[in-house]
Chains A and B, each alone.
Chain A
């Protein structure tokens, strides 16, 4: 491209102009002499981050957490974490004179007698939803691109803990207003605890300070919500970010991008501006949502009363899937020697979430055990190039989605005017069958996409130009893709099936076989089975010869290089031959 770059805007000039040390210089000197900032910041100020839209998802989570801290501090200025019985005397007419807890009354006070109170409450609630949703989507991005592979496994573990703690933080948070809906949630949580064998009732009595609901639970949840969990969240977020900086961000493969480098823009000024600007975007979107979208209108629910409930009682959406498991579980409860086993509650709400979380936590370690991959990975993989990995997560997502739908089976029944019993029976089967189908479909889909990539490399892209031969046969012309695109498609690892004895120690001696070697080899074979490997240089060369041969055959048809370029609008044809030559 020939563009006169002599007129490049001065803002892009990288030549630093020497200045006399002014006031700022004096301050910098003062600080450096005490903090050694010069050495600490030397490398990091211009640290390079790669650019891709999907790398922004974790940032949404980070910034919404900051919004949560800011709006949360505002709410604590008026909220009373107390279950003392008071008569509401505030501005909201329909509840005036009603007996309620101080927690509920102070939440109503924030909503109706503090200017901006509803806004801050709604912003806090929306930010919480964005926080958890963006963590989940970020987790999926990291998983589907293989970004959790060595050396980033521990950052995956930290991320999973953040998701778990974020969920608990959400539950403790929406329980604080002590309204009818949240009280119903706490009562259900009491039932969950009581289902735990041996220690269940003790857990419940210690948490509630006696029998449900007592007068201790709100202050205790408040402490957990504003001190305990946010403290741990902050520490884990700091660790998450430090590891990110230490490992340097992963990047997509492409021309000039390798496992050894990171290509992108510097922290100062580009990412400082982009990320800093993005904080304001997240904050601003939350503010507009808080101003326009009503959420958790506790004044419509009324104060908690253990004898009342509303139809359609549901937890916040991120607690929906265990609630769905609870709904579709058969009523299995048995009694032995004077003791009760409430499997109908214990299995779906205590065991299942714990099991699912453990699986999530272990995914990187399971995969590297099966594949035997011990190398560092800094280039991301496209989901299609790891069909089994992709299929595994889609399978888990299907399970999650079906459980989540089960958590709204009453809403589905009402909306679709269908039978809740049949919906429940259907989901009972679907949670087992659905993930299996999803696994199979996703895996085959990925492999088909791999074949498509292979065809593009070997035979070029489909131009849409239809050629008619002298015999009257029709064929579509394929043209080679650009070298950069071809390189990007081939910039991936070849799959290597793990076999027993393939690992050697430093002196070249095969590692002793383990008891699970047979299983591991079988799983490794299945993991990679049917995957399409990228073509070799020889295969590419043969394909090129073949294409040129065809090109030569058809070139005579109209006397010019009838390669279709003049029709496809990609580029001009003058003097251009097929790729490479």
Chain B
């Protein structure tokens, strides 16, 4: 291949004089088979046209699949996938890919591949243009008198700036403040309260049946809810729906475990919070609020699947590992006259993730995370 510069600009004179090797300039163009052999060009043409034709066939396949293949819940008929989804996806994909491949083939084989050179220009404007722009700006400023009348300028800026106030104020009704939410009239409103009330039964999740203390074996774990989530005529509790139900569930969910009573190290003032080794803790992680559910019965450790904070349920829910900074809130338990588990009261501290206004309730040396 010849090394003579063929481009209109070799650029070598733009390099500093110290450049060790002068710019040899653009290499000469190499002709492709399709440039010099009419048969090769025809072949490329046929390839490209057949790909466009095949693409049309794929669209036909797409339409046929659309009307023939099942949808509904037959979503695993082919390779664990829906016939409709697979057919539509593959036919649509092939139709598109063939158009793409054909077009790129066209560009590579038949369109000119002679490199072109275009000169750059500096990003900055020319000095004359800058001068003219500055001139125009100062003429405009002069005509408006904005420099001579600072009172107008300053009041204009201030008044436009003030328009930010309505923009912000209008957003006020996005939601109640935490304080207002605490005053709302749905059960357990506010960050510091849940729907648990003294004497409310602890019921099984999903089914809502009360839990008889004597039915729990040592090592058992029960995902539980307050009875308020499953109101019945007997309990006389109000029906919860929609947001109220979700809010109640998001704070009141608990887990009940039974362990050997002597393994429990009760926190300060928590001596009578358990019933025969049955303890109850908030299910909501104190880290960022995931429901916790992975229980290791031999160690009484409860692991959060989101960020692996681990809590010791025999030791007031103390953090033994992970990023959580606080123990799990414990629900004081008792049994009613029928032998079912009930809450002695609501939680004695807010459940869930830490927030700024949360007043810390120390529970002796159990309260801090063990780093």
What sequence of 0s and 1s flags, for each residue 74-91 of chain B, a beta carbon within 8 Å of any chain A beta carbon? 010000111011111110
Interface membership of A416, Cβ < 8 A:
no
Give A305 to B249 CA distance when docked, in angstroms.
8
Partner of B323, one of A282, A310, A331: A331
Q: Is the CB of B355 within 8 A of A277?
A: no
Evaluate contact between B97 and A261: CB separation under 8 angstroms: no
The CB with the most chain A CB atoms within 10 A, among B14, B81, B354, B358, is that of B354
* Contact of B171 (CB < 8 Å), options: A206, A263, A342: A206
In whole angstroms, what is the CA distance A282 to B110 when docked?
A: 23
Interface size class of B (residues with CB under 8 A): 35 or more
Residues in B297-332 with C-beta less than 8 Å from chain A? 305-309, 319, 321-326
B residues 314-371 in Cβ contact with A at 8 Å = 319, 321-326, 352-360, 369, 371
Q: How far is the CA of A5 from the CA of B82 in the complex (A)?
A: 55
> Is A248 among interface residues, defined by CB-CB distance under 8 A?
yes
A463 in the interface, Cβ–Cβ < 8 Å?
A: no
A571 → chain B closest CB, angstroms: 11
The answer, yes or no, to whether B261 is at the interface (CB within 8 Å) is: no
B197 at the interface (CB under 8 A from A): no
| Chain B 278-308 residues near chain A, CB threshold 8 A | 283, 287-294, 305-308
Cα distance A536–B16 in the bound complex, in angstroms? 12
The stretch of B113-121, B134-142, B157-165, B262-270 that contacts the partner chain? B113-121
The reply to whether B306 and A188 contact each other, CB–CB distance below 8 Å, is: yes
Given contacts A206-B171, A264-B115, A421-B321, contact A278 B100 (CB under 8 A): yes
Of A213-221, A231-239, A517-525, A551-559, the one touching chain B: A213-221
For residue B207, CB closer than 8 A to chain A, the reply is no
CB contacts (< 8 Å) of A263 on chain B: these are 7, 26, 115-117
Digit string of B83-115 for contact with A (CB within 8 Å is 1, else 0)? 011111110111111111111101110111111
Question: Across the two chains, which residue of chain B brings its CB closest to A269?
Answer: B111
With a cutoff of 8 Å between Cβ atoms, the chain B residues found around residue A340 in the complex are 354-360
Q: How many residues of A contact B (CB 8 A)?
A: 145
**Which residues of chain B are within 8 angstroms of A286 by Cβ–Cβ distance?**
93
A188 contacts B290, C-beta separation under 8 Å: yes
Most A CB atoms within 10 A — which of B1, B106, B190?
B106
Contact A309 B290 (CB under 8 A): yes
Contacting pair B110 A9 (CB below 8 A): yes
Report whether A420 and B308 are in contact in the complex, using a CB–CB cutoff of 8 Å: yes
- A280 is an interface residue with CB less than 8 A from chain B: yes
Q: A115-B84, A262-B117 are in contact. Are A490 and B243 (CB under 8 A)?
A: no
Name A288's contact: one of B75, B89, B101, B356 (CB within 8 Å): B89
User: In the bound complex, what is the Cα–Cα distance between A209 and B175 (angstroms)?
Assistant: 4
Closest B residue, CB atoms, query A268: B111
Check if A256 is an interface residue, CB within 8 A of chain B.
yes
Name the one of A8, A112, A188, A260 contacting B75, with C-beta atoms under 8 angstroms: A112
Those of A129-161 within 8 Å (CB) of chain B: 150-151
The chain B residue sitting closest to A282, CB to CB, is: B100
A115 to B83, CA, bound (A): 11
Instruction: Determine whether the beta carbon of B174 is less than 8 Å from that of A209.
Output: yes
Q: Which residues of A contact B324 (CB under 8 A)?
A: 331, 344
Whether the pair B89, A290 counts as a contact (CB closer than 8 A) is: yes
Query: A85-B241, A258-B11, A333-B354 given as contacts; is B72 within 8 A of A342 (CB)?
Result: no
Question: Across the interface, do A255 and B25 meet the contact criterion of CB distance under 8 Å?
Answer: yes
Cα(A123)–Cα(B291), bound, Å: 31
* Residues A342 and B118 in contact, CB atoms below 8 Å apart: no
Closest B residue to A123 by beta carbon equals B89
Q: How far is the CB of B334 from chain A (nearest CB, A)?
A: 22
Q: Is B166 an interface residue when CB atoms closer than 8 A count as contact?
A: no
Give CA–CA (A323, B1) in the complex, Å. 56
Interchain CB contact under 8 A, B287 and A216:
no
Closest Cβ neighbor of B361 among chain A residues? A335
Given contacts A116-B84, A187-B250, A330-B323, contact A339 B100 (CB under 8 A): no
B356 touches A201 (CB 8 A): yes
Instruction: Say whether B191 contacts A211, CB under 8 Å.
Output: yes
B151 at interface by CB-CB < 8 Å: no
Contact B360 A205 (CB under 8 A): no
Bound state CA distance, A48 and B7, in angstroms? 14
B235 at the interface (CB under 8 A from A): no
Q: Of the listed stretches A73-81, A355-363, A470-478, A479-487, name the one at the interface; the rest are far from the partner chain.
A: A479-487
Q: Does B96 lie within 8 Å of A264, measured CB to CB?
A: no
Q: How far, in whole Å, are A14 and B10 apart by their CA atoms in the complex?
A: 23
A280 contacts B96, CB within 8 Å? yes
Q: Is A433 engaged at the interface, CB distance under 8 Å to the other chain?
A: no
Which residues from chain A contact B205 at a C-beta distance below 8 Å?
A: 307
* The residue from B37, B184, B321, B357 contacting A339, defined by CB atoms under 8 A apart: B357
Contact A292 B116 (CB under 8 A): no
The answer to the question of B253 belonging to the interface, with a C-beta cut-off of 8 Å to chain A, is yes
- Whether B38 lies near A9 (C-beta < 8 A) is yes
Collect the chain A residues with CB atoms within 8 Å of residue B290's CB: 184, 187-188, 309, 313
Q: How far is the CA of A410 from the CA of B103 in the complex (A)?
A: 46
Q: How far is the CB of B231 from chain A (nearest CB, A)?
A: 15
- Shortest C-beta distance, A93 to chain B (Å), equals 5
Chain A residues whose C-beta falls within 8 Å of the C-beta of B120 in the assembled complex: 248, 259-262, 378
CA distance A23 to B72 in the complex (A): 50
Would you call B237 an interface residue if the criterion is a C-beta within 8 Å of the partner chain's C-beta atoms? Answer: no
B177 at the interface (CB under 8 A from A): yes
Distance A209 CA – B35 CA, assembled complex (angstroms): 67
Q: Identify the closest chain A residue to B89 (Cβ).
A: A291
CB of A278 to closest CB in B, whole Å = 6
Q: Does B126 contact A (CB under 8 A)?
A: no
Partner of A291, one of B12, B88, B323: B88
Q: How far is the CA of A538 from the CA of B193 in the complex (A)?
A: 83
Cα(A194)–Cα(B103), bound, Å: 53
Contact string against A for B residues 218-241, beta-carbon threshold 8 Å, 1 for contact and 0 otherwise: 000001010000000000000001
Question: Does the CB pair B104–A273 fall under 8 Å?
Answer: yes
In whole angstroms, what is the CA distance A317 to B71 when docked? 30
Interface residue B20 (Cβ < 8 Å from any Cβ of A): yes
A274 contacts which chain B residues (CB < 8 A)? 103-104, 107-108
A206 to B181, CA, bound (A): 11
Asked if B354 and A410 make an inter-chain contact with CB atoms under 8 angstroms apart, the answer reads: no
CA distance A184 to B290 in the complex (A): 7
Contact yes or no, A280 B100, CB < 8 A: yes
**Beta-carbon contact of B112 and A210 below 8 Å:** no
Q: Which of B3, B88, B323 is within 8 Å of A116, CB to CB?
A: B88
Chain B contacts for A326, CB-based, 8 A: 287-288, 307, 323
Checking A14, A112, A202 against B177 with a beta-carbon cut-off of 8 angstroms, the contacting residue is A202
Cβ–Cβ < 8 Å partners of B18 in chain A: 494, 536-537
Contact of B35 with A9 in the complex, beta carbons under 8 Å = yes
Q: Is B21 within 8 A of A490, CB to CB?
A: yes
Q: How far is the CB of A61 from chain B (nearest CB, A)?
A: 17
Q: Is the CB of B21 within 8 A of A486?
A: yes
Say whether B5 faces chain A, with CB atoms less than 8 Å apart.
yes
User: A280 vs B293: C-alpha distance in the bound complex, in angstroms?
Assistant: 46
A31 within 8 A of B: no
Task: Known contacts A258-B23, A264-B115, A536-B20; decide if A291 and B175 are in contact (CB<8 Å).
Answer: no
Chain B proximity of A539: nearest CB distance (Å): 7
Residues 278 to 329 of chain A near chain B (Cβ within 8 Å): 278-292, 294, 299, 305-313, 323, 326-329
Question: Lowest 8 CB-CB distances: which A-B pairs, in order?
Answer: A291-B89, A333-B325, A191-B288, A258-B11, A280-B100, A256-B26, A277-B103, A284-B96
Q: Can you show 5 pairs from A to B with CB atoms below 8 A apart?
A: A4-B36, A216-B175, A259-B11, A281-B96, A281-B97
Given contacts A210-B243, A331-B325, A331-B369, 10 further A-B contacts (CB under 8 A): A8-B31, A83-B243, A85-B242, A116-B85, A261-B119, A262-B120, A265-B113, A340-B355, A421-B321, A536-B20
